[in-house]
């Protein structure tokens, strides 16, 4: 059993491309929903803060300057958070769809385990990107510790596509 990581890239198959496109579409919808909520909160929280200050008896509780400064700060935080989330998650899926490649890595089985709770079979493997994979009953019985298994994942997002 070698300790060197052996990888190569291949073009994505049509079903893998559709899987990634569907994942990107679902994630985009989720990001838009979250961003809409953050934008609404960026306006509602300063407004509620003004009412709180008014009930406390603060002079000039409904200051337009204070309201717009608070909104600007909250919008800036929201934009920054969403940009980082997009860049480090959805951006990688988009890069996979653009380049249309997958990585195939040769890994070795380190441990086999059967999970009674969900009636599933797992291999713990030597890959730095994927620690375990769920396998079929036939493969679980056919392969042993130290055997070689090839795993496929999207090159940039590291989304697991399968094994053989």
pTM for this structure? 0.73
Domain, as residue range, for 138: 101-163
Same structural domain for residues 106 and 67? no
pLDDT bin (cut points 50, 70, 90) of residue 6 is confident
Residue 48 has pLDDT above 60, yes or no: yes
**One domain, residues 123 and 85:** no
My answer on whether 131 and 107 are in the same domain is: yes
What percent of the chain clears pLDDT 70, i.e. is strictly above it? 98
> Does 6 fall in a domain?
no
Average pLDDT, the chain: 89
Beta pairing, strands 120-125 & 132-135: antiparallel
Q: What is the pLDDT of residue 71?
A: 92
pLDDT at 128: 87
Whether residues 95 and 121 share a domain: the answer is no
Q: Round to whole Å and give the CA distance between 38 and 81.
A: 10
pLDDT at 61 > cutoff 80:
no
Pick the more confident residue, 64 or 161. 161
40 assigned to some structural domain: yes
Q: Do 34 and 105 sit in the same domain of this protein?
A: no
In a domain, 8, yes or no: no
Helix (H, G, I), strand (E, B) or coil at 141: helix
Q: How far is CA 12 from CA 18, 19, 40, in A?
A: 10, 10, 39
**β-bridge pairing 6-11 and 132-135:** unpaired
| Residues 91 and 32 grouped into a single domain | yes
| Distance, CA of 66 to CA of 22 (rounded, Å) | 43
Q: What is the pLDDT of residue 3?
A: 63
Tell me the per-residue pLDDT of 35-47, one tens digit each, with 9 for 90 and over. Answer: 999 999 999 999 8
Residue 102 has pLDDT above 80, yes or no: yes
Q: Which pLDDT value is given to residue 2?
A: 56
Backbone angles phi, psi at 111, to 5 degrees: -155, 145
What pLDDT score was predicted for residue 130? Answer: 87
Between residues 94 and 54, which one has the greater pLDDT?
Answer: 94
For residue 24, the SS3 value is: helix
What DSSP letter does each residue of 38-50 carry, written as one string?
HHHHHHHHHHHHH
Mean pLDDT across the stretch 133-153? 91
Q: Are residues 117 and 156 in the same domain?
A: yes
* Residue 4 resides in a domain: no
Residues 134 and 148 in one domain: yes
Specify the pLDDT at position 22: 93
């Amino acid at each position: 059993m070698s300790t060197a990581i052996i990888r190569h890239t291949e073009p994505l198959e049509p079903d893998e491309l559709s899987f990634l496109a569907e994942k990107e579409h679902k994630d985009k919808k989720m990001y838009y929903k979250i961003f809409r909520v953050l934008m609404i909160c960026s306006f509602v929280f300063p407004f509620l803060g003004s009412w709180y200050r008014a009930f406390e008896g603060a002079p000039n509780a409904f200051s337009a300057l204070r309201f717009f400064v608070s909104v600007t700060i909250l919008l800036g935080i929201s934009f920054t958070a969403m940009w980082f989330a997009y860049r480090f998650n959805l951006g990688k899926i988009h890069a996979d769809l653009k380049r249309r490649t997958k990585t195939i890595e040769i890994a070795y089985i380190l441990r086999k385990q059967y999970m009674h709770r969900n009636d599933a079979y797992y291999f713990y493997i030597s890959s730095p990107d994927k620690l375990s994979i769920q396998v079929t009953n036939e493969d679980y019985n056919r392969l042993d510790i130290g055997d070689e298994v090839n795993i496929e994942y999207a090159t940039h997002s590291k989304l697991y596509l399968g094994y053989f």
